[in-house]
């Protein structure tokens, strides 16, 4: 039997933790450093930090905030948002992230998968797919924090990404209406 794990996700916008429904009507939910420390103290198994506006705003993830959180927690720490290069990933891992989650960068440059795995090891890379169901009932891959649709079919893209890898994947499926996330953890 699989063990249940508690993995809270801090959605970050403008340096603050925010909550909303489908990233709409966001409200301030507190200081991310304090919340991360609280989650770790309360027994969370892992923590995910998503800078939900970094890619859309064409800026990098808040590295200093990642560093502050990493200093306060003792659980695995995954960071996503705003990465598009090997150098971006290097900065986040050096700031204290254990893994990085990438989506838009892979859609725009699928070859980055192999470059990241070669440089940092596959255990550090989480490939994410954001998708939404369209009016025609098809699922389309979205980028920019789920705000921009692509023409990529969700299932075809998942197969394409998997075919580009040379290692075995462990699947973890998350469903948040109306967004669908499929993440492969190396």
47, β-bridge pairs = 77
Tally the C-alpha atoms within 13 A of residue 87's C-alpha that lie toward its C-beta.
1
How confident is the model at residue 55, as a pLDDT?
78
How confident is the model at residue 162, as a pLDDT?
76
Token pair recorded at residue 136? 């025609």
Active site residues: 11, 130
Residues with Cβ within 8 Å of residue 57, at least 6 apart in sequence? none
How far apart, in whole angstroms, are the C-alpha atoms of residue 181 and residue 55?
A: 17
How far apart, in whole angstroms, are the C-alpha atoms of residue 116 and residue 105?
A: 11
**What structural domains and CATH numbers belong to the chain?**
9-185 (3.20.20.70)
How confident is the model at residue 182, as a pLDDT?
42
B/e letters for 77-86, b = 16+ CB within 10 Å, e = fewer, are: bbbbbbbbee
How confident is the model at residue 170, as a pLDDT?
37
Tens digit of pLDDT per residue, the chain (186 long)? 788 889 999 999 889 988 877 666 788 899 999 999 999 999 999 999 989 888 778 788 889 999 999 999 999 999 999 899 999 999 999 999 999 999 999 999 998 988 998 899 888 888 888 888 899 999 999 988 778 899 999 999 988 887 766 443 333 333 333 334 444 433
Residues with Cβ within 8 Å of residue 45, at least 6 apart in sequence? 5, 6, 7, 75, 76
Total-model pTM? 0.81
């Amino acid at each position: 039997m699989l063990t249940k794990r508690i993995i809270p996700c801090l959605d970050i916008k403008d340096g603050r933790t925010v909550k909303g429904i489908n990233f709409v009507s966001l409200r301030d939910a507190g200081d991310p450093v304090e919340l991360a420390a609280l989650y770790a103290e309360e027994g969370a198994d892992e923590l995910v930090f998503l800078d939900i506006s970094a890619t859309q705003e064409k800026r990098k993830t808040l590295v200093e905030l990642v560093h502050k959180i990493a200093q306060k927690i003792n659980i695995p720490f995954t960071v996503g948002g705003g990465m598009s290069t090997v150098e971006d990933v290097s900065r986040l891992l050096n700031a204290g992230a254990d893994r990085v989650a990438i989506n838009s960068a892979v859609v725009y440059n699928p070859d980055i998968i192999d470059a990241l795995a070669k440089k940092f090891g596959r255990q550090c890379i989480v490939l994410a797919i954001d998708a939404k169901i369209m009016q025609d009932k098809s699922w389309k891959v979205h980028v920019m924090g789920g705000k921009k649709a692509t023409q990529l079919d969700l299932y075809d893209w998942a197969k394409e990404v998997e075919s580009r890898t040379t290692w075995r994947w462990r699947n973890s499926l998350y469903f948040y209406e109306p967004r669908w996330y499929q993440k492969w953890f190396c």
